[in-house]
A and B are shown apart, each in its own frame.
Chain A
Amino acid sequence: MKKKSKLFYIQLSLTLLVCAFLIVPVVLSVTAGLTANYIVGVRSGLTLQWFGKVWELYRDTIFRSIMIGLVCLGCTLMLGIPAAYAMVKKQNRFTRIFEELLVTPLAIPGLATALALIVSYGRFTDFRKSWLFILVGHVVFTLPFMVRSVIAVMNSANTTQYEEGAASLGAGFWHRFFHIVIPIAMPGILAGSLMVFTLSIGEFNLTWMLHTPTTKTLPVGLADSYASMRLEIGSAYTIAFFIMIIPLLIAMQWVAKPPRKKVIPEKTELSTDLRRTTEMEKNALERNPIPRDRGREPVSGTSLRLENCSKTFPDGTQALKPFSLSVKAGETVVILGPSGCGKTTMLRIIAGLETPDPPGRVFFGDEDVTELPIEKRNVGMVFQSYALFPNMNVAENIAYGLKVRGLGAAERERRVSEMLEMMKITELRNRRVDQLSGGQKQRVALARAIAVRPRLLLMDEPLTALDAKLRDVLRAEIDSLLRSLGITAIYVTHDQAEAMALGDRIVVMEIARVSQVGTPREIYFKPQNRFVADFIGTLNRVTGRVEGKGLIVPGGTIPLEGISHLQPKAGEEFEVFFRPEQAEVVGPGEGHFKATVAASFFMGDHTRLLLDWTDASYLTIEAKSNQVFRKGDLVEIRIDPASLLTLRT
């Protein structure tokens, strides 16, 4: 225990002094309300007679305050939540002005607001004399608190991802509003409600101006009792008020505390049995990647056709240049590209979350779905952030799309069990979403998307948020799932290994445009341009002068007979490319050129060599792992002439 400084004691005494300043009067009022004679003190004996007097004189004010508070709460809920949602969703000049105006009742003293109401509506005598007049004042005063509390939660919970998730499962606007938005905004609604009720109960500035002798509220009654100069009754009444607000204060603190999240460790993540099968599958895939075993079940997906789809955002940036693509039923197409290249935009156009610029069209089979919103397209979508509904458990999440489609409880139950079994997460059925690990969430998200038997499965970087090992396992699982279901799938990723492993075809994207479309083999071995070649795998670049049928490079000559489609002229500067595994280290006299080892990395199954080439560049070569190299060794390299590439920039 370290010694407390002088400063600590100064601050402590100040804090305790403040505390005393705040609490001593409270204690005084409590004793005054409970003792027979305030002047004499506790010695005069404890009594509840003052409470009796309060009950007799002021009970109507207490009931009226509670009634006004509750009705006021109801009004702010009905007016405030929809307005808050609209303001979060639609950020235009009108909503911004309204948001600005909405805070003014907080800045303007209640006295002024009350005067304004009296001046405008005071002549409607019946209204003026009823408690409704006070109610209106309270709603004006408390509405901003409700709206701001709800807006804050909606913004921080980012309801958009859940709405898109729900829409992808077929939920329409009102369904999303009542079943997704409101439950998610519940903490804000609850906090706002407590605030509104407490404020309404204690409101005095407005109420004093608005009340009439027959519509007194609790604070008005308190003011009356204080003015009556009978300290005991005033104190007893104050105690009654304390008793009313204490539960409200406690509830407010309880609501403000963030819920404690408890993630149950990944015991169930990979049962050993499951791990064995996925490992086996993975190995099998690596040994024999293409062609793969086609589906066990008949193809259930639809074909997809994009015609001249482009996307320009309202601010004028073109996220996507016009492109066309057809995807066969049952095919898996991976959209691959660096971040910000427009691949997610492309997926959102297919999903129906964005509409392409005219005249772009989207077809599912022969049906033109361009104008259909996502909830009418019958697609399944898996989001990078999973977008599992936090207000539902695992089974409810999976059943959600089925419920929206009006399936009966028994059928839903059956389908959910089937999905849980398929994803091997049966034991997670009743878990809350915040108790799941990343991998488990991903499985639930997949199950939820597949449960509705979508025409098309769309996946937006579904594995990016997971760690490397889990990613490999889930990748293999997704692959076998896609194969066995025979579903048409579009998969977006920035990870080339994922693209190679999963795609029947890969769409490689550069900034806002499609660079190449082809099978993984085509993309790897016949890249059409430098961007694709650079993006996928490692590529060596060699420049030299053409002489006869060879390219003169430092340390030797590379034969050019493999390049048939180009006729390099003698004496010309020429550029060729090759991949690390297409060159080998050979014995003296067998190679095309010599180079010095700059570094070597033992990788287990092979050794990666960096060779000094020109001043600014190295060549990367894969050598067999049983050879040992040292920095400075001179090695001879032989290149497979047929594998040399020439590329457009």
Chain B
Amino acid sequence: MGRRFNLYLFLLMVPGVAFFAAFFLLPLARLALSSAEGPQGFKVYLLSLTHPRYFTTLLNTLLLSIAVTLATLVISGFSGVFLTRNQFLGKNFVLSMLTFPLAFPGVVVGFMIILLVGRQGLIGDVTRWLVGEKLVLAYSLTGLFLGYLYFSIPRVIITLMAAAEKIDPRLEEAARSLGASPFRVVKDVLIPALVPGLISSGAICFATSMGAFGTAFTLATDIDVLPIVIYTEFTLLANITTAAALSIVLGLITWIALSIARSISGTTVAAAG
């Protein structure tokens, strides 16, 4: 287990490290540099953040992501704990229904939202029949909110179910034996035990919503969220420096969110999608 062993281990590392450096680390560094290649230099960051359009966009994206995260955590928390704790007829069916959308890319999610609340969507038909007016939500921030919810709920439910399964049911029984009401049991036992799972899955949900592109792209290209703006700047306006600067800002935000979650919950978390 001496020097030879270390040499072999080094040899095993080389291809992975080389590939990763060549196609991720260096390009990213290059991107950071090229954001400053424009006439404004590094001021481009300041300009892009203070520019009213970009600033509103950033704010929009942040608020939307936070709203999606909170809604997802509440809904998935209720359902996830419920599904781990109760047996009922058709539970396995419900479970497989909940996990089926796990592998949907953002574009498919966008299409699902169009089918649900789009111009020819189901909800529109139902509301027209009920109140005589078509309810169309898909092509706005509300549609995006629903789309991200659709995207996030399955992932978060899976994580929270795994976390809830690890909680010793005897903890709850102990709390109840000490006279705690169901509400207190949830507040004092269940939620504290779920906190690491809530933090890590919440961070994933937030980061994914910040960076998701496919859903917004499918729903409409004129919703002002950061990924769409980056895309338009780059492809339609050929404004490479601004696009680079904005994507660096976006990358930093998601990376910081995930790092904070990681340092709090102690596990590695990753964005999906």
Binding site for B on A (CB under 8 A): 5, 7-8, 11-12, 14-16, 18-19, 21-26, 28-29, 32, 38-39, 75, 78-80, 82-83, 85-87, 89-90, 95, 98, 101-113, 115-117, 119-121, 136, 139-140, 143-145, 147-148, 173-174, 177, 198, 202-205, 208-209, 219, 222-223, 226-227, 231, 234-235, 238, 241, 245, 248-249, 253, 353-355, 373-374
**Pairs across A and B, CB under 8 Å, 30 listed:** A12-B82, A12-B86, A14-B82, A15-B83, A21-B116, A21-B153, A22-B98, A38-B120, A79-B16, A79-B20, A86-B9, A87-B13, A98-B20, A107-B254, A107-B271, A109-B211, A109-B213, A110-B211, A112-B248, A113-B24, A116-B24, A121-B27, A173-B4, A173-B5, A205-B212, A205-B213, A219-B107, A223-B217, A253-B99, A373-B5
Question: Does B75 touch A at the CB level, under 8 Å?
Answer: yes
Q: How far is the CB of B117 from chain A (nearest CB, A)?
A: 9
Contacting residue for A219 out of B4, B97, B214, CB 8 A: B214
- Given contact pairs A25-B112, A112-B31, A139 touches B100 in the complex (Cβ within 8 A): no
| Given known A-B contacts A90-B6, A103-B270, A104-B255, A111 and B12 have beta carbons under 8 A apart | no
Contact B13 A98 (CB under 8 A): yes
Residues on the B chain within 8 Å of A119, using CB: 27, 30-31, 34, 240, 244
Scoring B residues 39 to 83 as 1 if CB is less than 8 Å from chain A, else 0, what string do you get?
Answer: 000000000000000000000000000000000000100110111
- A5 and B182 alpha carbons, distance in the complex (Å): 10
Contact A115 B243 (CB under 8 A): yes
Is B207 an interface residue, CB under 8 A from the partner? Answer: yes
A-contact 0/1 string along B1-24, CB 8 Å cutoff: 110111011101101110110011
- B180 interface residue per 8 A CB criterion: no
* A-contacting 9-mer, from B168-176, B189-197, B226-234: B226-234
Other-chain contact of B30, A5, A23, A120, A198 (Cβ < 8 Å): A120
Instruction: Indicate if the CB atoms of A108 and B255 lie closer than 8 Å.
Output: yes
Q: Which residues of A contact B153 (CB under 8 A)?
A: 18, 21-22
Chain A residues near B213 (CB-CB < 8 A): 109-111, 204-205, 208
Contacts known (A120-B26, A241-B108); A198 close to B150, Cβ less than 8 A: no
Chain B residues lying within 8 Å of A24, measured Cβ to Cβ, are 116, 122
B238 CB–A CB distance under 8 Å? no
Give bound CA distance, A317 to B252, whole Å.
42
Distance (whole angstroms) from the CB of B26 to the closest CB of chain A: 7
Which residue of chain B has the shortest Cβ distance to A104 in the bound complex?
A: B255
Confirm or deny: B102 has a beta carbon within 8 angstroms of a beta carbon on chain A. Answer: yes
Asked whether A18 lies within 8 Å of B227 as measured between CB atoms, the reply is no
Decide: A223 and B218 in contact? CB cutoff 8 A. yes
A81 to chain B, nearest CB (A): 9
- In this assembly, does B136 line the interface, its C-beta being within 8 Å of a C-beta of chain A? no
Closest B residue, CB atoms, query A25: B112
Indicate whether B141 reaches chain A with its CB closer than 8 angstroms: no
Closest Cβ–Cβ distance, residue A458 to chain B (whole Å): 16
A83 to chain B: which residues have CB within 8 Å? 12-13, 15-17
CA distance A39 to B13 in the complex (A): 57
Question: B residues 100-116 with Cβ under 8 Å of A?
Answer: 100-108, 110-116
Interface size class of B (residues with CB under 8 A): 35 or more
> What residue in chain B is nearest A108 (Cβ atoms)?
B251
Complex Cα distance A103/B107, Å?
24
A95 vs B13: C-alpha distance in the bound complex, in angstroms? Answer: 9
Assuming the contacts A83-B13, A115-B247, asked whether A249 and B100 have C-beta atoms less than 8 A apart, the reply is yes
List, in ascending order, chain B residues with CB within 8 A of A85's CB: 9, 12
- Total residue contacts A-B, CB cutoff 8 A: 256
Q: Which residue of B lies closest to A85 (CB)?
A: B12
Say whether B205 faces chain A, with CB atoms less than 8 Å apart. no
**B2–A117 contact, CB under 8 A?**
no
The interface residues of chain A lying within 8 Å CB-to-CB of B254 are: 107-109
Query: Known contacts A109-B251, A173-B4: does B31 contact A115 (CB below 8 Å)?
Result: yes
CB-based nearest A residue for B240: A119
> With A28-B116, A111-B231, A119-B30 known to touch, is A223 a contact of B10 (CB < 8 Å)?
no
> Judging by beta carbons under 8 Å apart, are A11 and B82 in contact?
yes
Q: Which residue of B lies closest to A225 (CB)?
A: B111
Which residues of B, 160-186, contact A by the 8 Å Cβ criterion? 182
* With known contacts A205-B211, A231-B120, A25–B251 Cβ distance under 8 A: no
**Which listed residue (B20, B75, B100, B111) contacts A18, Cβ 8 A?**
B75
Q: How far is the CA of A89 from the CA of B1 in the complex (A)?
A: 11
Write out the residue numbers on chain B whose beta carbons fall within 8 Å of the beta carbon of A231. 115, 120
Chain B residues, CB < 8 A from A21: 116, 149-150, 153
| Contact present for B231 and A26 (CB under 8 Å) | no
Give the CA-CA distance A373 to B2 in the complex, in Å: 8
The reply on B198 being an interface residue by CB < 8 A is no
CB proximity of B34 to chain A, nearest CB, Å: 5
| B-chain residues with CB within 8 Å of residue A204 when the two chains form the complex | 105-107, 213-214, 217
B16 touches A116 (CB 8 A): no
Residues on A with beta carbons closer than 8 Å to the beta carbon of B247? 109, 111-112, 115
Inside 8 A of A120's CB, which chain B residues have their CB?
26-27, 30-31
Asked whether B27 lies within 8 Å of A29 as measured between CB atoms, the reply is no
Q: Are B6 and A198 in contact (CB under 8 A)?
A: no
For the complex, give the distance between the alpha carbons of A89 and B13 in Å.
Answer: 11
Given contacts A208-B214, A226-B110, contact A16 B75 (CB under 8 A): no
Tell yes or no: B137 within 8 A of A by CB. no
Give the shortest distance, in Å, between A240 (CB) and chain B (any CB).
Answer: 11
With both beta carbons as reference points, the residue of chain A lying nearest to B7 in the complex is identified as A173
B residues in contact with A75, CB < 8 Å: 19
- Chain B residues whose CB sits within 8 angstroms of the CB of A147 once the complex forms: 16
Q: How far is the CB of B248 from chain A (nearest CB, A)?
A: 7
Q: Are A16 and B94 closer than 8 Å at their CB atoms?
A: yes
The verdict on A102 contacting B20 (CB below 8 Å), with A26-B100, A222-B111 known, is yes
A15-B79, A108-B255, A223-B218 given; 12 more Cβ-contact pairs under 8 Å: A7-B182, A11-B86, A23-B97, A112-B248, A115-B230, A116-B24, A139-B19, A202-B104, A208-B217, A219-B108, A226-B107, A231-B120
> Distance in Å from the Cβ of A482 to the closest Cβ of chain B?
28
- Is B207 a contact of A238 with CB atoms below 8 Å? no
Are the CB atoms of B115 and A249 closer together than 8 Å? Answer: no
Nearest residue, chain B, Cβ from A20: B97
Q: Could you say which of B19, B214, B234 contacts A205, with CB atoms under 8 Å apart?
A: B214
Q: B258 on the interface (CB 8 Å rule)?
A: yes
B35 to chain A minimum Cβ distance, whole angstroms, is 9
Contact B120 A11 (CB under 8 A): no
Question: A107 to B107, alpha carbons, bound, how many Å?
Answer: 20
Using CB atoms, name the residue of chain A closest to B121.
A28
Of all chain B residues, the one with the shortest Cβ separation from A245 is B103
Contacts of B202 in A (CB 8 A): none
* Residue numbers in A under 8 Å from B250 (CB-CB): 109, 111-112
CB proximity of B61 to chain A, nearest CB, Å? 11
- Measured between C-beta atoms, what is the minimum distance from B93 to chain A in Å? 9
Most A CB atoms within 10 A — which of B15, B157, B272?
Answer: B15
Q: Which residue of B lies closest to A105 (CB)?
A: B24
CB proximity of A609 to chain B, nearest CB, Å: 44
